[in-house]
Structure 1
């Protein structure tokens, strides 16, 4: 497995993931992305987190030479030296260890290369798989945001998980 920058050939994968309306409740997406907009993003994405305040990696299964998901650092704050962390694994690739491997690689990159002090994740409380995954990797729940995100039919509580680089 490896993490790499988005490439033009990732367009169809990103288009499918970004426009999956069942996933919008986990982020801030409110409308579909066009292929043109995603093509522009890939071509113009600034891969310097200190400039763009975010960084996206594609999660690639090297054995099968296929994409399995995306992982992002977002809302990077260089003064407080923290960043949000989000991950998406395609449904057909879930429960195969890809999320654990990708998170471990990104945590190592964030802490050892970028020298980030703290990573955090907002996780819907009904997403028990993600809660267990982040807990297994050493993240601790530090808060609960009641009715924080509008889900498909109701407001969802969001657990705030943090990992401090010690």
Structure 2
């Protein structure tokens, strides 16, 4: 079995055909809070991003993978970011873009696959995630996957005129 294939889905590299999907996600203002985005992205910029998506994680320090159901439906994205091979750590975040795939185990399986990939192939010692303290679904997902809350970043994000705390989760190999 391939490392990035599970019972419900597989993770694959970005393709030029993902332009519309990425465009819609990056320009969805309802999730800008999660991605720290403040301005819209043009199709041109996203096309350039996709053209460079082939860069090795050791060069780009990030890896974005598309979550695909075995029925070839695009579910969402899972990212490894701030890859630090010297200190053997990497951040992880995921987004299930289509509501019909939420709370059905796809996020859990994608997170398990990417954690196994990071530990085995990238040989990291730890993965970490930054989660808004009000995001109960993500907290449950990451805790179920073996992540532990190790800190609270007080008043970390300024959203809609209010400061919000961000929780720091970590999983060690």
Superposition TM-score tier, normalisation by shorter sequence: over 0.9
Q: Matched residues in 2 for 1:117 and 1:126: separation?
A: 28
1:7 aligned residue = 15
Give the TM-score normalised by the residue count of structure 2. 0.91
2:5 aligned residue = none
2:129 aligned with 1:96:
no
> Structure 1 segments of 4 or more deviating over 3 A?
none
2:82 corresponds, among 75, 87, 102, to: 75
Say whether the 8 Å CA contact 1:147–1:158 is kept in structure 2. Answer: yes
Name the SS for the 1:30 alignment partner. coil
Say whether the 8 Å CA contact 1:25–1:152 is kept in structure 2. Answer: no
Q: Matched residues in 1 for 2:73 and 2:85: separation?
A: 33
Q: How far apart are residue 48 of structure 1 and its match?
A: 1.0
2:154 aligned with 1:146:
yes
2:124 corresponds, among 95, 98, 116, to: 116
2:42 aligned with 1:41:
no
Say whether the 8 Å CA contact 2:76–2:98 is kept in structure 1. Answer: no
Q: How far apart are residue 154 of structure 1 and its match?
A: 1.6
Cα RMSD after superposing both structures: 1.0
Say whether the 8 Å CA contact 1:122–1:159 is kept in structure 2. Answer: yes
2:28 aligned residue = 20
Q: Matched residues in 2 for 1:154 and 1:30: separation?
A: 16
Q: Matched residues in 1 for 2:167 and 2:52: separation?
A: 33
Q: How far apart are residue 78 of structure 1 and its match?
A: 1.2
Name the SS for the 1:15 alignment partner. helix
Q: How far apart are residue 125 of structure 1 and its match?
A: 0.4
Q: How many residues matched? A: 164
2:58 corresponds, among 44, 50, 63, to: 50
Q: Matched residues in 1 for 2:93 and 2:27: separation?
A: 16
The unaligned stretches of length 5 or more in structure 1 are none
The unaligned stretches of length 5 or more in structure 2 are 1-8
Say whether the 8 Å CA contact 2:64–2:80 is kept in structure 1. Answer: yes
